[in-house]
Amino acid sequence: MKLAFTVQYEGTNYSGFQKQSNAITVQDCLLNAFNEIIDHPIDMNISGRTDKGVHALGQVFDINTDIHRKQEQWINGLNASLPNDISIVDVIEVPNDFHARFDATERQYCHVLFLGNEKPIIQKNFVSWIKRDIDIEKLKFQTKFLLGKHDFSAFRSSRCNSNNPIREIKSIEIKQHKKMVFITITANAFLQNMMRIIVGTLIDIAKNEISISLKEIMISKDRKFAGKTMTPSGLFYLGPKYPKTPKINTPKQIQYII
């Protein structure tokens, strides 16, 4: 039997999702919680990696098990052993050939910016602080060049090990609520740091710290022409989309951060 779980987490205290040999990750905590309620080792497929400090509202992973429990028993049992910054929010049975990563046709991220001179104390773990106002309309104009299928080599980390830099951005939405700006991007997949570099480049263009357009940077395929990598604190993984498994209710909607 295969089960798909949806998990939310604050990434502040973790070195990303995926298990590592020398750091505490979200996956470590999940595996420890499973060890408390089942008596066999598990393999876990995830819909997408998140880096250190990045949060998730709709991360999905799947496991195989012969243990039958009600939905609330899985959720309550795991959450009882998880730290208070990680929470299982849903679980459903899925076909045996389901794969959390390979079956996802879209993934969605939202980067939250806080504009203003005052330091965001209450929201500091959940926003990237921009110390002055920026031209939102200029951001919207620049992002239209990213739509579609392109080589995003200019917007990936030097540590990115993907053999194929081609990705397809399906939608970009920029909304402002008081001092908060929400930049939401949906793509078939993302390169390492791709979202954070795109947002950092947009901010540098809006500040007139970069003189060429986003389109020119993309065509260059050269990371040196792009802007800074934005801080991870404002980045949320909203989740994947599974057309063949619509009962998995992702991506999640981000609410305004007080």
The verdict on whether 151 is a catalytic residue reads: no
Rounded Cα distance between 110 and 173, Å, is 9
Helix axes 194-206, 136-143, angle to 10 degrees: 130
Q: Give yes or no for a contact between 210 and 201, defined as CB atoms under 8 angstroms apart.
A: yes
Q: Give yes or no for a contact between 227 and 200, defined as CB atoms under 8 angstroms apart.
A: yes
66 Cβ contact list (under 8 Å, min separation 6): 1, 40
Q: Give yes or no for a contact between 65 and 73, defined as CB atoms under 8 angstroms apart.
A: no
Rounded Cα distance between 4 and 94, Å, is 6
Catalytic residue among 39, 43, 51, 103: 51
205 Cβ contact list (under 8 Å, min separation 6): 138, 139, 142, 213, 214, 227
Helices H, strands E: what count in the chain? 5, 10
Rounded Cα distance between 222 and 189, Å, is 20
Burial class (CB within 10 angstroms; exposed 0-12, middle 13-18, buried 19+) of 148: exposed
In Å, what is the CA distance from 121 to each residue of 9, 13, 118, 131, 162? Answer: 20, 17, 9, 13, 36
Catalytic residue set = 51
